[in-house]
Amino acid sequence: MEMLQAFISGFWQVLAWPAFGYLLIGITVGFFVGLLPGLGGLATLALMLPFSYTIKQPVEAFCFLLGMLAVTGTTGDLTSILFGIPGEGASAALILDGYPMSKKGEAGRALGAAIMSSVVGAIIGAVSLAISIPIMRPLVLLFGSPELFIIMIMAVTFIGTLAGSALVKGLLAGGVGLMLSAIGVDPQTGSLRYTFGSLYLWDRLDIVPVVVGLFAIPEIVDLAVRGTSISQVPRGKLSGVMEGVKDTFRHFWLVMRCSLIGVYFGILPVLGANIAQWVSYGHAVQGLKDRSRAGKGAVEGVLGPGAANNSTRGGDLIPTIAFGIPGSAAMALLLGALLIVGLQPGPEMLKTKLDVTFAMVWILIISNIIVAAVCFMVLNYLAALTFIRGSLLIPFLLLLVFLGSFTSNNHLYDLVATIIFGILGYFMVLYGWPRPPLILGLILGKIGENYLWISTAAYGAKWLLFPSVIVLIVLTVVVIAYPTIKERRGKAKYERPEGAI
């Protein structure tokens, strides 16, 4: 009964004034921030955090901060689909199939699928937060550092296998990403690695200029070479939006599974949406009957990461609220907001302030429903941008690319990094090298290195013989071997003479 009362109380506190007003302000800020490549929810949250000092009530503060953060993933998806430029790092995976859909004139369907799957993912993430109190500790403590290190390697190889016939290229691209993640100061010894005397490289490569360069620059070059608009079909009234919405429910179990993947990676400290989106994309594409559709406009490639990057918000909050362990960098800032408004994560949040905890659940749900409604109302205006002549659009896109890269750290060398990785991305596209494994390797390298160091310091080499580690290694080998075995069986079946047994 106490839980139900707190659940209802949290709902009415969010809808009460001025809390609902703060929620609308946060949603408005998050909407436009998500559309701007590179800035992202984390940077905006850092800028807006000082305003929480002036907001006295905890629910009002979180209506503003969490409401803003909750919608950046959805609007970031729109930029990725329409322009091939990730609005956020957590929206990069949607470029792979969402942008090709825009080129084919299916922007409406892709946008409808992304928005609806984002809403479903956000609701699943919020519900997971609501029901997780009795089971969250086993989930957080399920794996130790040895298992988490192998999961990092497994994630890179998993994405690498999506290259299909270019399996070796996919795995090598993941390896290059891991090598790039080693640039900077060694976190254990303090020695410099591959910095070549540059102070900029001391703090490792930032993910934003790398992602924007690898994915946005090649598409802008392609647009310039073609000399047409983004969409390659004649302009007409935006259609297919409802078809995209229906796709969400046609593939509802896929959306459900990818949402749960997002929740789980949100619960695991430090991982979050950047990794969940790629794992969910891999899961969605692995289930395609025709794997050749991957990267060419498969709606499943939009639904998977669209659901996952929003459901991670609920997962992120679980360890943050229960144990004071931030599930992501954004949650670390929200943890600071908790302390600013006088709340202590842990037993206090789960007992004496349970209504505030459930208010966060309602904030996630209500803010995503509102922003989805707004997105559906302005889709015609957004999608119309894909029919503007490339020569007019390219300067604006380049401005967004370099503005997004610069604002991530306010460092001029980020612009240089964007150009370098843009050139690299162009040649990777030209010669058929997959880009997602490189990005995932770069993201996971730093985390995996820390887990490897902790495992070796604690157990020596013995951790390699842990049963759980052995099982994960076997699964990794199976993930690598399965596409090759399947391809060879297909060739053998094709080459078998008719009537042969």
Q: Residue 318: what pLDDT?
A: 76
Structural contact between residues 228 and 389, judged by C-beta atoms closer than 8 angstroms: yes
- 274 CA to centre of own chain: 4
Residue 244, CA distances (Å) to 4, 115, 118, 250, 297 in order? 35, 9, 12, 10, 12
User: What pLDDT band is residue 433 in, cutting at 50, 70 and 90?
Assistant: confident
Length of the chain: 501
Convert 253-304 into a string of H (helix), E (strand) and C (coil): HHHHHHHHHHHHHHHCCCCCHHHHHHHHHHHHHHCCCCHHHCCCCCCHHHHH
Work out the pLDDT band at 31, boundaries 50, 70, 90.
confident
Residue 223: pLDDT above 80?
A: no
Q: Tell me the average pLDDT across 269-298.
A: 72
Q: Tens of pLDDT along 137-177?
A: 455 556 677 887 887 777 777 666 655 556 778 788 888 88
Per-residue DSSP letter, 193: E
Band of residue 451 on the pLDDT scale cut at 50, 70, 90: confident
- Can you name the residues that pair with 184 across neighbouring β-strands? 193
The Cα-based distances of 245 to 207, 249, 250, 302, 370 in angstroms read 31, 7, 9, 12, 16
Output the DSSP codes for 121-169: HHHHHHHHHHH-TTTHHHHHTS--HHHHHHHHHHHHHHHHGGGGGGHHH
Q: How would DSSP label each residue in 416-476?
A: HHHHHHHHHHHHHHHTT--SHHHHHHHHHHHHHHHHHHHHHHHHTTGGGG-HHHHHHHHHH
- Rg (C-alpha) for the chain, rounded Å, is 22
User: pLDDT per residue over 88-97, tens digit each?
Assistant: 666 677 777 8
Select the more confidently predicted residue: 486 or 356. Answer: 356
- In 10 A of CB 325, how many CB atoms? 17
Residue 185 three-state SS: strand
User: How far is CA 285 from each of CA 105, 152, 291, 444, rounded to the nearest angstrom?
Assistant: 21, 19, 7, 21
For the segment 194-210, the average pLDDT, to the nearest whole number, is: 79
pLDDT tens per residue across span 364-413: 888 888 888 888 787 777 666 656 666 776 787 777 777 767 766 778 88
- pLDDT of 356: 78
What sign has the CA pseudo-torsion 460, 444, 175, 485?
positive
466: exposed, middle or buried (Cβ count in 10 Å: 0-12, 13-18, 19+)? middle
Give the SS3 label for residue 192.
strand
Phi then psi for residue 290, to 5 deg, are: -115, 100
Cα–Cα distance, 119 to 168 (Å, whole number): 37
Residue 185 dihedral angles phi and psi, to the nearest 5°: -85, 130
Distance, in Å, from the CA atom of 103 to the CA atom of 28, rounded to the nearest integer, reads 29
Model confidence band, residue 501 (pLDDT cutoffs 50, 70, 90): very low
Cβ-based neighbour number of residue 437 at 10 Å? 30
The partner residues of 185 in beta bridges, in order of sequence, read 192
Q: Rounded mean pLDDT of the chain?
A: 75
Which helix (H) or strand (E) is 478 found in, with range?
helix 467-495
- Distance, CA of 338 to CA of 317 (rounded, Å): 12
Residues 166-189 have a mean pLDDT of 81
Helix (H, G, I), strand (E, B) or coil at 207: helix
Distance between CA atoms of 2 and 9, rounded to whole angstroms?
A: 10
Among 153, 207, 235, which Cα is nearest to 443's? 207
pTM strictly above 0.75? no
CA distance 352 to 202: 45
DSSP 349-381: HHTTTHHHHHHHHHHHHHHHHHHHHHHHHHHHH
d(CA 470, CA 44): 42
End-to-end CA distance of the chain: 67
Q: Which residues pair with 192 in a beta bridge?
A: 185
Provide, rounded to the nearest whole percent, the portion of the chain with pLDDT above 70: 72
What is the helix (H) or strand (E) element at residue 3, kind and residue range?
helix 2-15
- Asked if the model's pLDDT at residue 494 lies above 50, the reply is no
Digit-coded pLDDT (tens) for 228-248:
665 554 555 556 678 878 888
